[in-house]
Amino acid sequence: MDVKHRAVKLSVHPSRGLVDDKFVIVVQSVPPGVQLTVHAFHRCEGGHGWEAFAHYVSDAGGSVNVSQHASMGGTYSGVEQMGLLWSLRPVPGSKPGLRLKKMNVQTPMEFTISVHLGYRTEGFMDQVALASQVVERWYMAPGVRRIPVTKDKLSATLFLPSGPGPFPAILDLWGASQLVEYRAALLASRGFASLALDYLTPKITQDTSNTMENSYFEKAFGFLQQHPQVLANCIAMLGLSFGCSITLRMLAYSDVVKPTCAVCISGTHVQPIIAKQEDIFSFYKQYSDKIQVNEKNQKIMKMMLLPITSDPTLKVDVGRVQCPLLLVVGEDDQNLPSSESAVDMKEMMERAGNSHLLTILSFPDTGHLIEPPYSPHTEASSFRSIITQQKTTALWGGQCVAHAYAQEDSWKKMLAFFHHHLYAAHYSPPASRLTAKF
């Protein structure tokens, strides 16, 4: 019988879930040995289309199970259960420099999964699929509460897990960008009260043209300590990129910010320590002549801070860190010398006698933007710098398959790190706080 006239069945289970949950894609009711293309499409909030696809051959029973069968080609190869998400890329003809990130965490990301006859590589939107299904992936689990925060001139969003609490908490700092909520929302979905803090674009910053002082981060930490649904002695810090600089600075020098543990992703300890926050960017700018530009006009920023300085006034004294610290490092990070910095921080902590507090997760062929699992790998992207207000294209680095593995593995180990130091050290959380139900 002609495949086109069969009632081909496609199932994606679960069809609704968190973005870090895996799903199973199964195609059935196909003759054995038929070449098929399984395709994923997503239209982001900015209106841009993203797609991934893989080629399969139906088995003797006339089916394809993406979690068990190997892709013969496409945007990924081999047995990759979530390859249709982490290998997403802009559709042909899209403008260069795009990056996929969720803006409104109160709505799902919708993906259309479809199956097509033959090995297809393009023109999917012009073809009639044999079968298709829309699936939803969420950053906010049912019951998670999103609460804007403006107290004490803070610009932040608090996410509280479902249930009465109190909960361990995480102060979440991104890099040199506007307020980013999706990681904090996902952490709340996994049982942690999470405060996503905007520290470069609040009104006070724009009015004074200065970045936030240490007191701003101390107020944010104090806000969590005083919140009735937060365990005051179970608060962690999480930083990515420039957020790591802030996190390490607080760990070493603040008399107020005393977290139970901390995680730094793709960051460095190199910064002038006797200076105001805005002076850190001035420090970076003076080395801008060391920035390299590749043949695609993408900027390689990491060279600004290499080699790692030996001047103790120009790097955080991590020997002063007094809580467990997890460093997540991409060895192909082209934006910051995170790998080289991790080596230097380890040596500094060994000399200070506190290296027992340090754990390093280092991933080969992994770039700067280490995101939650199954996020598409972004090798480079364009953005307008909050610091210079100029549009630039940065090379982040990484290879797609290795980077995808690093995101999945580091997320799993980061959650385990937080659970061990924030939950397990005090009490075991109910299973309902750790598993979202849709």
Hey, what are 349's tokens? 């902590």
The string of DSSP codes covering 111-138 is: EEEEEEES---S-GGGS--SEEEEEEEE
Annotated catalytic residue, options 172, 198, 333, 344: 333
Contacts of 238 by beta carbon, 8 Å cutoff, 6+ apart = 170, 171, 172, 173, 183, 187, 247, 262, 263, 264, 265
- Residue 216 pairs in a beta bridge with none
Annotated catalytic residue, options 58, 155, 189, 241: 241
Tell me if residue 341 is catalytic: no
The DSSP call for residue 431 is H
Q: Contact, 38 vs 56, CB < 8 A?
A: yes
Rounded Cα distance between 280 and 321, Å, is 20
Tell me if residue 5 is catalytic: no
Omega within 30 of 0 (cis) for the link into 166: yes
Tell me if residue 20 is catalytic: no
Rounded Cα distance between 388 and 391, Å, is 8
Q: Which residue has the tokens 């919708």?
A: 110
The string of DSSP codes covering 40-109 is: EEEE-TTS-EEEEEEEEE--TTS-EETTTSPB-SBSS-BS-TTHHHHT-EEPTTPPSS-----S-TTS-E
Rounded Cα distance between 331 and 93, Å, is 31
Annotated catalytic residue, options 55, 116, 368, 403: 368
Residues known to be catalytic: 241, 333, 368
